[in-house]
Amino acid sequence: MKGLIDFVKAFDYRDLIKGAAVTLRHFFKRNVTVQYPKAKLTPFPRFRGRLTLLKDEAGEDKCICCMACVRACPTGVISITAGKKEGRKMRFPEEYNFNMDRCIFCGMCVEACNFDAILLNEEYELAQYSRQDFKFHKEKMYLPTPKVDYKK
């Protein structure tokens, strides 16, 4: 008798129809995906992208080489050589080297900076073909990441 009831119950497809109704309903909904290389999303303002050096209104470096970022970095990717310049009371970064190879984008350096001299920008396409391109020197730090023409 139990076997008969189970057999009849096996034809009760309500559970599957309910599930199929959900998928069917979604068929007419708007897409949520973005076709990435053609369309791009903008990150939120706090997004942690590549490290950049900032300049003040006069075009001078805001950095005064207090080495707070160097000490705060967990992976040790920043190294600074301080220099003196005529007409500037504070030291300025003669060399500011940033090795993106090992950067974990945690933002500890920006948090440690007392002079708002560095920033993690909103770039997220950071891939490069050569390992050397991940080593950022002072001049490269101000510029956006060079665009890579992807080989097919």
Does residue 35 touch another protein according to CB under 8 A?
Answer: no
| Nearer of residues 1 and 10 to another protein, judged by Cβ | 10
Provide the minimum distance between the beta carbon of 128 and another protein in the complex, in angstroms, as a whole number.
21
CA 41 remoteness from chain centre = 12
Report, in Å, the least distance between residue 2 CB and another protein.
Answer: 17
74 is a site residue for another protein (CB under 8 A): yes
- 58 contributes a contact to another protein by CB under 8 A: no
Alpha carbon distances (Å) from 68 to 18, 109, 120: 59, 7, 16
- Distance, in Å, from the CA atom of 8 to the CA atom of 84, rounded to the nearest integer, reads 90
Going by the DSSP 8-state scheme, the letter that residue 29 receives in this structure is S
Binding mask 83-112 for another protein (x = CB under 8 A): ---------------------xxxxx--x-
Window 122-141: residues binding another protein (CB under 8 A): none
Residues binding another protein: what is the number (CB under 8 A)? 25
